[in-house]
Chain A
């Protein structure tokens, strides 16, 4: 069975500082993709970053980077230079060789001015 665990229900970060959102996963599939989505208060789901299980390098997209540690089955999201607009729910997700994607419970990030 596939499972995604986000252990931080809520996180606070000071504006302009970096923050790490934790995500661990469990799968027996040899190939899989890891994803992070942002859900602002307006409700839409916004794709942030993708990491393939065979990618040698950690994924980066602007201020977002994914700290991928395959042996530990972790895929933490790092947001550098936090902005007020980063305040949102963040979901970690994984899609293995099956048909659908599994989501974690989410982490609510609040950026303080």
Chain B
């Protein structure tokens, strides 16, 4: 099982450039998420999706956009990259059945992004 696949693993961007972080899951999870983790900190929710065609903002959505055209894919778009977006980005997915361990997240391996 591939689980949650994120690409790329590392990326250096120049200020003002744009890029898309890819996330694909093969577990037929309906929920998908994007988090960022700044050095030595916890995870902050950027955007999430409860199903294809449905997305919503999390705690820190500014400077990012998402789309969910299929169950499997949930790309994160960075427009006009800024140094404040230097972080590690995690994609995650889950089922929605409260009451089991499946309610937890399966994480991708992360994307380390540096904006210079």
Contact = CB atoms under 8 A, between A and B. Distances in A.
Interface of A: 31-33, 35, 37, 43-45, 47, 50, 52, 54, 91, 93, 95, 97, 99-101, 103-106
Interface residues of B, number: 26
B31 A99 contact: yes
B110 interface: yes
Interface string B81-116: 000000010101010001111011111011010000
A55 B31 CA distance: 24
B103 A100 contact: no
29 contacts: A31-B99, A33-B99, A33-B100, A33-B101, A33-B103, A35-B105, A43-B110, A44-B107, A44-B109, A45-B90, A45-B92, A47-B101, A47-B104, A50-B100, A50-B103, A50-B104, A52-B99, A93-B104, A95-B94, A95-B104, A99-B56, A100-B33, A101-B33, A101-B104, A103-B42, A103-B43, A104-B42, A105-B41, A106-B42
Given A43-B88, A45-B90, A99-B31, A54 B99 contact: yes
Interface in B59-99: 88, 90, 92, 94, 98-99
Contacts, number: 62
A100 B58 contact: yes
B50 A52 contact: no
**Listed residue (A45, A47, A93, A105) with the most chain B CB atoms within 10 angstroms of its CB:** A45
Given A31-B98, A47-B104, A105-B42, 17 more contacts: A33-B99, A33-B103, A33-B104, A35-B104, A37-B107, A44-B110, A47-B101, A50-B100, A54-B99, A91-B42, A93-B104, A95-B103, A95-B104, A100-B33, A100-B58, A101-B104, A106-B42
